[in-house]
């Protein structure tokens, strides 16, 4: 049984993330979507909120589970015995950082492979930071996040004074 870990901040999950997660679930027997907690960051959503949101976005896909972890990604991968780490690549600009991470992870855990999936063309420009930026100025984020999560994400990210204008 081959398990893959799909790690990320997911603050919040976007349609780009969801596309990668769903495609990974067709390639591996089991996929664990992992909210990695970085104590140096100040996320808009708590780790528990991010886990719950991802669970709602992947409901019905039997081989996907969701978890969170504070620590080195590779320690989690080792603990669960995963064969692979799956990451999405949007552009060459992602590559340099991801390549460094993949090589570092390979050094610590040689038996785990990093698998890169190219983003869907429709999601090339998408990121959680973009979602937060657009929402902050009451822009329309409905094409960026899973429909089932739109209300929850908008409620948190769109400034209160703008909500009456929707």
Residues known to be catalytic: 17, 41, 90, 128
- Would you state the torsion angle of the CA atoms of residues 9, 13, 19, 25, taken in this order, to the nearest 10 degrees? 60
Q: Which residues 123-162 are close enough to bind ligand PNS by CB under 6 A?
A: none
- Compute the least distance from the CB of residue 84 to ligand PNS, in Å: 13
Q: Is 115 in the site for ligand PNS (CB under 6 A)?
A: no
- Compute the least distance from the CB of residue 23 to ligand PNS, in Å: 17
* Cβ-contact 35, 66 below 8 angstroms: yes
Nearer to ligand PNS, 52 or 98 (CB): 98
Nearer to ligand PNS, 38 or 79 (CB): 38
Q: Which residues 24-83 are close enough to bind ligand PNS by CB under 6 A?
A: 36, 38, 72-73
Size of the site for ligand PNS (CB under 6 A): 8
* Cβ-contact 136, 103 below 8 angstroms: no
Reading the block at residue 131, the tokens are: 């979602």
87 Cβ neighbours under 8 A, 6+ residues apart: 6, 7, 20, 98, 101, 102, 114, 115, 116, 117
**DSSP secondary-structure letter at 91?**
S
In the complex, which residues of this chain contact ligand PNS (CB under 6 A)?
A: 7-9, 36, 38, 72-73, 101
């Amino acid at each position: 049984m081959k398990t893959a870990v799909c790690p990320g901040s997911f603050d919040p999950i976007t349609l780009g993330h969801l596309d990668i997660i769903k495609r990974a679930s067709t390639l591996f027997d089991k996929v664990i979507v992992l909210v990695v907690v970085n104590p140096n960051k100040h996320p808009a959503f708590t780790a528990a909120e991010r886990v719950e949101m991802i669970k709602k976005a992947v409901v019905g896909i039997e081989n996907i589970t969701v978890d969170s972890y504070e620590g080195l990604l590779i320690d989690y991968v080792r603990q669960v015995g995963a064969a692979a780490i799956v990451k999405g690549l949007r552009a060459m600009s992602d590559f340099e950082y991801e390549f460094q991470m993949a090589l570092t992870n390979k050094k610590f855990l040689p038996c785990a492979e990093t698998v890169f999936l190219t983003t869907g063309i429709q999601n090339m420009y998408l990121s959680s930071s973009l979602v937060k930026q657009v929402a902050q100025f009451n822009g329309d984020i409905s094409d960026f996040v899973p429909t089932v999560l739109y209300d929850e994400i908008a409620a948190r990210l769109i400034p209160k004074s703008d909500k009456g204008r929707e």
